[in-house]
A and B are shown apart, each in its own frame.
Chain A
Amino acid sequence: MEFKKAIGLEVHIELSTSRKLFCNCNTRFGARPNSQSCNICLGRPGAMPILSRKAVDYAILAGLALNLHISDYMSFDRKAYYYPDLPKAYQITQYYQPIGVDGYIDIETNKGPKRVRIKRLHLEEDAGKLIHQPEKQITKVDYNRAGIPLIEVVTEPDLNTAEECQTFLEQLRLIALYLGISDCKMEEGSLRCDVNISLNSKDSKLHGTRVEIKNLNSFKAIQKAIEYEFERQREILVKGSTIVAETRRWNDKLKKTESMKKRDRGDDYRYMPDPELPTIRIGDKRIKHISLKMPELPATIYKRFRQNYCLSEKDARLLLSIPDLARLFEACLLEYNKPQVLCNWLTGDLLRLIKESNTDIKSIKLSPMMIKDLLIMIDNGLISTTIARKVFIDMFYSGHKPQLIVERKKLAQVTDQKTLEAVTDLVLKQNKSSVSDYKAGKKKVLSYLMGQAMEKTEGKANPVILKEILTSRLDQSKS
């Protein structure tokens, strides 16, 4: 029997507001444990939650970008469960009246475009973090994360393969990045994803049971877990057994899913409206005001990169993956209208330097004008590409204009006929055997001789002129 996967995702995205959802605590990642907590996010009795307007605005912006219907009224509910990372023993979330419902994202699949429906988007607070110290047999709790705003995006089970899930998540991640509402770092937990998967037979006669998989900390883990779970469920169904409705945990070491808790009675979170937070009316005015701040979304930018600039899929995606890089690219295009050349420099040399120097694009010293000047020097034959690379590195670290660097370091190309002829003669004299080889028909030595001549000019010789001289000299001596 053949089976088809029906996959729905529950994606948690941590909002990058500087304050928590219901208090003024800082949200910086990696701070000293429990240095960013207060009576409110610790759930101390008598302290009351005060809703962050900014977090609501961010969530509405996300809702609009995901084509959701934004609710007229939103309210907060308490989701009750006991775990030491949850100091109030309930999580403040939106159950009955979320920010928005019924949206979608269009993704590209190998079978063409596909619309993935989004069931709902709601705002909620994050929990703290448990730090297990098995060697001491203790567990410590860090509440710095408790109360950080999250949005949860819940899709319909419209995804059918691990690749589609990956594409969807990347697309969602990009949207959040371009909206500027999250840094979406999976490794820091600011993007987290639970997977709901069930199998149906291809003839639709057999329907499996939904199983939830948690603890997926990377794209890779998601893919592996889906593959593993597909096999596991398929085997059960083929045997004629039934799949248990449950939550399973991905064990990244053993590369398998493990049962967490049975869901036969359904999780009963005893949801109730939070009596400490009033219902909020989201007026049209507020939605309009927020939608005015809507930036261009990655899908639109991607289309332009492909169609207007004729970039390859790979190049377009690479540029797009870092919003600041894409912005720099288009800023440079205003100065220098050769998209592919610019793209090669930015995705190649620039990204390498960014990585090397452990910085980000926002803080670099390069301006579009400087990049343009450098590229024009190449185009005008003033410097070679090899030299330009050196100048680029210099520019990147010093922030100096390329003209200045070229001038100071005397890097301009040698185009003077006489100088190059002299260099050529010297090289031919020193490499008599190569000259004989050339005469014997081994044309390959030409590039060796070119290299020798280049070396003598410290790479500054204009290669076109040099080659011309070299070949004419060799051909002359032949006759």
Chain B
Amino acid sequence: MELYKLTVHEVRDLIDSKAISSSDLLKSILGRINEVENKLNSFITIDTDSALDQAKKLDETRPQGKQGLDLVGIPYGVKDNISTKDMPTSCASKMLRNYRTNYDATVVKKLRDKGAILVGKLNLDSFAIGSSGETSYFTNTKNPWRLNKVPGGSSGGSAAAVAADLIMFSLGTDTGGSIRQPAAFCGIVGMKPTYGLVSRYGLFPLASSLDQIGPLTKDVRDCAIVLNAITGHDQKDSSSIDKYSYPDYRSFLFKDIKGLRIGIPQELLKDASLDVKNHIKKAAKHYVELGAKVEETSFKLSKYSVPVYFLISSAEAASNLARFYDINYKSEDHSPLSFDEIYIKSRTEGFASSVKRRIMIGNLALEANNYEDYYLQATKIRAMIRKELEKLLKDFDLLLSPTTPSVAFNFSSMEKDLLNTYKWDASTVPANLAGLPAISIPCGFSNDGLPIGMQLMGRPYGEGTLLMAAHAFEQSTDYHKKRLHALEV
């Protein structure tokens, strides 16, 4: 049996019934990595030995797979902008190419405590700025469906590795769609939870008011399982939600969606390709068949969301990335240089051009003369967008849209068309601006056979409803089962 092909909940039963051991599963995974990783380049770091040690230890102690032990012995990977004490955290940047921290991010610690096995750190756009994976300092991750297509970004490695069965699940980060867009491009499930639901402690911040960590999984049930493991209040993160009773997200999966009100904002459909449009319409129909009430609706401020996102995320990124200069992050000998020279040299050489662009735009927006017209104005519109979405989500339980207007594109096609890229993020950024949860799940294939993702966006803490609706759709279709792709040839 090719164990690596299974989902988390499928292998759980096998491990618990002792049909297989954790080591069997890990060896299958490592075999798979060995076989295809050189075509995909989804990892930045892989630590085989420590993973094998952990699996062996787990097999010796054999904790039983009851509640809370869902992830014992499950191999996974994290995006390389999340701190791990045993592996470097590079942000796929030249600046931090050798950087190590001395602590685990809260999510990593939680998964470690629950017995999940960290296999490696996954590739991304440098400092999580980008949506194609192409700005990584190390290498371009390929889309497993077609190797000349991008995997999406910035969590490109996290999506590609799960889609290609190199790991059972992964963690990504989502500032404007960085989990959902690559999940859509790679035909898997990706969720950005409500802001504050998952601790960001240990996430190298890009735009702190928008960033969120979330799971990328092979199906919706796995998404619920991983979400269970990584949520919870954390004193180390001031934005972490306190006094909230975290539910068991699996309990929503099999609920009936009869009467669920789903709205489709027309503004999020208008830039979509014909293929995508058709599949969203088909999905809407499918929901009606499942008993939901589906209606067209309007998200009037939609056109402002990408510019507002761009200003706010750039401003916060400029500030968050200011700390990276060589005095604290490298040990190169700069002794003949003055501080200003070290600063200029290390930042000129250490940042990718895409990162520098964000930093410059962000700083421009924050200059005293521009602050009111740009940054402050953006935060005001952000508040309006949040209000409009809250109002929409009073009328509807969920908002349905394409995750992206088209399927995965070719390498180097984005850079040529910088000013037109806004439409790519129109569906995803509103959830970040308003702190809302959103999930992307597969909903079909384009004419040339690439996966299409649809997004469900819900109310704050509405992850349960998202999972319920996503699961109902997934279980009555088979898009998520269709696998690969270029790698099987």
- Note all chain A residues with C-beta closer than 8 A to B209: 275
* Closest beta carbon of chain A to B237's beta carbon, Å: 5
Is B228 an interface residue, CB under 8 A from the partner?
no
Is A230 an interface residue, CB under 8 A from the partner?
no
Task: Find out whether the CB atom of B83 lies under 8 angstroms from the CB atom of A84.
Answer: no
Task: Find out whether the CB atom of B368 lies under 8 angstroms from the CB atom of A268.
Answer: yes
Which residues 74-94 of B sit at the A interface, judged by CB distance below 8 A? 82-83, 89
Identify which of A43, A138, A277 contacts B323 (C-beta below 8 A). Answer: A43
Which residues 421-442 of B sit at the A interface, judged by CB distance below 8 A? none
CB-based nearest B residue for A22: B238
What is the interface residue range for chain A against chain B? 20 to 34
Given A42-B328, A46-B204, verify A276-B366 contact (CB < 8 Å).
no
Is B236 an interface residue, CB under 8 A from the partner?
yes
- Note all chain B residues with C-beta closer than 8 A to A266: 368
Given A39-B103, A270-B366, verify A48-B201 contact (CB < 8 Å).
yes
Is B203 an interface residue, CB under 8 A from the partner?
yes
- Note all chain B residues with C-beta closer than 8 A to A107: none
- Note all chain B residues with C-beta closer than 8 A to A51: 238
Q: How far is it, in angstroms, between the C-alpha of A80 and the C-alpha of B102 when the chains are bound?
A: 26
Given A48-B237, A270-B368, verify A80-B322 contact (CB < 8 Å).
yes
- Note all chain A residues with C-beta closer than 8 A to B89: 46
* Closest beta carbon of chain B to A268's beta carbon, Å: 5
Is B375 an interface residue, CB under 8 A from the partner?
yes
- Note all chain A residues with C-beta closer than 8 A to B375: 272
Task: Find out whether the CB atom of A276 lies under 8 angstroms from the CB atom of B322.
Answer: no
Is A393 an interface residue, CB under 8 A from the partner?
no
Task: Find out whether the CB atom of A271 lies under 8 angstroms from the CB atom of B105.
Answer: no
Which residues 313-361 of B sit at the A interface, judged by CB distance below 8 A? 315-316, 318-320, 322-325, 327-328, 335, 339, 343
Tally of A-B Cβ pairs under 8 angstroms: 94
> Interface stretch among A60-68, A87-95, A332-340, A379-387?
A87-95
- Note all chain B residues with C-beta closer than 8 A to A112: none
CB-based nearest A residue for B234: A48
The B contact surface, by secondary structure, is loop
* Closest beta carbon of chain A to B127's beta carbon, Å: 10
- Note all chain A residues with C-beta closer than 8 A to B328: 42-43, 87
Is A45 an interface residue, CB under 8 A from the partner?
yes
Is A278 an interface residue, CB under 8 A from the partner?
yes
* Closest beta carbon of chain B to A217's beta carbon, Å: 23
Q: How far is it, in angstroms, between the C-alpha of A46 and the C-alpha of B106 when the chains are bound?
A: 10
- Note all chain A residues with C-beta closer than 8 A to B105: 46
Which residues 68-83 of A sit at the B interface, judged by CB distance below 8 A? 78, 80, 82-83
Q: How far is it, in angstroms, between the C-alpha of A153 and the C-alpha of B118 when the chains are bound?
A: 50
Residues of B in contact (CB 8 Å), total: 41
- Note all chain A residues with C-beta closer than 8 A to B208: 275-276
* Closest beta carbon of chain B to A93's beta carbon, Å: 13
Q: How far is it, in angstroms, between the C-alpha of A295 and the C-alpha of B239 when the chains are bound?
A: 35
Which residues 356-401 of B sit at the A interface, judged by CB distance below 8 A? 363, 366-368, 371, 375
* Closest beta carbon of chain A to B350's beta carbon, Å: 13
Report A88-128 CB contacts with B as 1/0, cut-off 8 Å. 11100000000000000000000000000000000000000
Report B199-212 CB contacts with A as 1/0, cut-off 8 Å. 01111110111000
Is B54 an interface residue, CB under 8 A from the partner?
no
- Note all chain B residues with C-beta closer than 8 A to A39: 101-103
* Closest beta carbon of chain B to A84's beta carbon, Å: 6
Identify which of B103, B363, B371 contacts A271 (C-beta below 8 A). Answer: B371
Is B412 an interface residue, CB under 8 A from the partner?
no
Identify which of B238, B325, B343, B363 contacts A278 (C-beta below 8 A). Answer: B238
Q: How far is it, in angstroms, between the C-alpha of A43 and the C-alpha of B327 when the chains are bound?
A: 13
- Note all chain B residues with C-beta closer than 8 A to A84: 327, 339
Is A49 an interface residue, CB under 8 A from the partner?
yes
- Note all chain B residues with C-beta closer than 8 A to A327: none
Q: How far is it, in angstroms, between the C-alpha of A45 and the C-alpha of B89 when the chains are bound?
A: 10
Task: Find out whether the CB atom of B204 lies under 8 angstroms from the CB atom of A45.
Answer: yes
Is B298 an interface residue, CB under 8 A from the partner?
no
CB-based nearest A residue for B340: A82
- Note all chain A residues with C-beta closer than 8 A to B323: 43, 45, 87-90
* Closest beta carbon of chain A to B35's beta carbon, Å: 33
Is B410 an interface residue, CB under 8 A from the partner?
no
Q: How far is it, in angstroms, between the C-alpha of A47 and the C-alpha of B318 when the chains are bound?
A: 17
CB-based nearest A residue for B363: A270
Task: Find out whether the CB atom of A270 lies under 8 angstroms from the CB atom of B367.
Answer: yes
Report B100-129 CB contacts with A as 1/0, cut-off 8 Å. 011101000000000000000000000000
Is A44 an interface residue, CB under 8 A from the partner?
yes
Contact sample, A vs B, 7 pairs, CB 8 Å cutoff? A46-B82, A46-B105, A82-B325, A89-B325, A90-B323, A268-B367, A270-B371
Question: Apart from A89-B325, A90-B319, A272-B319, what 9 extra A-B contacts exist at CB < 8 Å?
Answer: A43-B323, A46-B82, A46-B101, A49-B238, A80-B322, A84-B339, A88-B323, A89-B323, A141-B327
3 nearest CB pairs, A to B: A89-B322, A275-B209, A275-B208
